[in-house]
Structure 1
């Protein structure tokens, strides 16, 4: 019987920037190196009757790319992803700050 944890570990090695966007590319003398935030989660188990099961998933979000032109390297962010991360962060930070202020007023 295969070990489910080992099988899930093998699958998780394929989740990442390279699987989503591929290797770095050279286009017209400009080197593009994709950057992404990746995360994954897996679970597995068995029951006393011998049944086994598992599952999991992963997600990759493009963050931007490092762009190399000659001797200079710059990071160019993906604005859509930046907004997708920034808007919830600002909401949570504002909500937490309002609760802190309310607690300090008491």
Structure 2
């Protein structure tokens, strides 16, 4: 039986920016380079008596794209995704700031 962890690792190569956007594109002299945040996790196990099994998953969030026209390079964000990704950071920063202020008042 092939090693399940190795097989899952090979399949994880398809996750990421390519699964969200595809490859970079050149259209009328404008190059579009996609940007995404992605992560994945996998696990597998084998037991001689019970058999083997494995599973995993991944997430890829489209963040935006770099647009290149000649020498000009700019980032065009996907605002909905940036807000969704930014909410946890804002929550953590607010929580930390409130604790710092509370500690300074003592």
Question: What's the TM-score once normalised by structure 2's chain length?
Answer: 0.88
Aligned mates of 2:19, 2:82 — CA distance in 1 = 21
2:103 alignment partner in structure 1: 103
- Structure 1 residue 15, shift from structure 2 partner: 0.8
1:60 alignment partner in structure 2: 60
- Structure 1 residue 48, shift from structure 2 partner: 4.8
1:39 alignment partner in structure 2: 39
Aligned mates of 1:63, 1:29 — CA distance in 2 = 23
Kindly tell me the number of residue pairs found equivalent between the two proteins: 106
- Structure 1 residue 29, shift from structure 2 partner: 2.3
Aligned mates of 2:97, 2:47 — CA distance in 1 = 46
Please provide the CA RMSD for this pair. Answer: 1.5
1:74 alignment partner in structure 2: 74
CA contact 2:35–2:62 (8 Å) conserved in 1:
yes
Kindly indicate whether residue 40 of structure 2 is the aligned counterpart of residue 28 of structure 1: no
Structure 1: tracts of 5 or more residues without a match: none
- Structure 1 residue 25, shift from structure 2 partner: 1.1
Aligned mates of 1:84, 1:19 — CA distance in 2 = 19
SS at match of 1:49: coil
